[in-house]
Copies of this chain bind each other. A is one copy, B any other.
């Protein structure tokens, strides 16, 4: 295949056959109980050096409690898919967990920009659309997928995409490699103990990433009975056999919100965005993550029931979220 142009980024690429082999040997087909604590899930399933992806953003239905647990366990050398992300990149880099970032949207706040400028984390350039498309290719079991964009830009130059001549039209077309993360974190509205999961509202690539990833950790607001899924199969976002761990974490998206359940806590989010240097970062990490045992303790000591009640109260819109 004649390559007209090649982006220079390093890519984390898994041969589709190697991914299949992983699925064959590691993914249980039968329903087994996968309920565990966040400590157990992250300890068992996230390894140093893993490629990490997650669904939605710090503001809405992001897997924030799981991300905090990764930081708490001081995982190292993670490669992060910064798709549509806001402050996760900053926290994961500031805590020394992440060393590489595939950039879709790297988040606001000045901290992350600064550490990138200082060369303390390696970044590779993609876009929200191309990372989502790479995930789709990963879920379709194909090594790459063509795109009509990235073309003509420095984004392409600093990505891992290739440009070839399309054999059907003769035009140049961009090919992006499949993405098969090692770990996918997703926070959902409802799950059962086997891992069946429901999201209400939109998602970035929940099913794509669950299918494309070697290890999938679901945290949920609510545990429901497995029979519920079989009554309304159209509502199933992720079937159990893609999932490796289920963690029951009410308010697990805090300080972000979960549609129909609770609103985001902008005050806390501003606190994270206000971090400008390592010292402030360490203070935040110490206070909200390292010194806190787990998510329940975090809610109890660092948020408080009164605040949570207020966030629930603010989530007045319930339409469509059931």
Chain A residues packing against B (C-beta within 8 Å): 1-3, 13, 15-16, 141-148, 162, 164-169, 171, 173, 175, 177-178, 200-201, 231-234, 319-320
Contacts and interface: CB of A to CB of B under 8 A. Distances in A.
Interface of chain A, main secondary structure: loop
A3 B167 contact: yes
Contact of A233 (B1, B147, B166, B320): B320
A1 B146 contact: no
Contacts of A200: 234
Looking at A162, A165, A167, A200, which has the most chain B CB atoms within 10 Å of its CB?
A167
B234 A320 contact: yes
Contacts of A167: 1, 3, 144, 162, 164, 175
Nearest to A147: B142
A234 B177 CA distance: 30
A231 B319 contact: yes
Contacts of A148: 16, 141-142
A1 B165 CA distance: 5
A178 B147 CA distance: 13
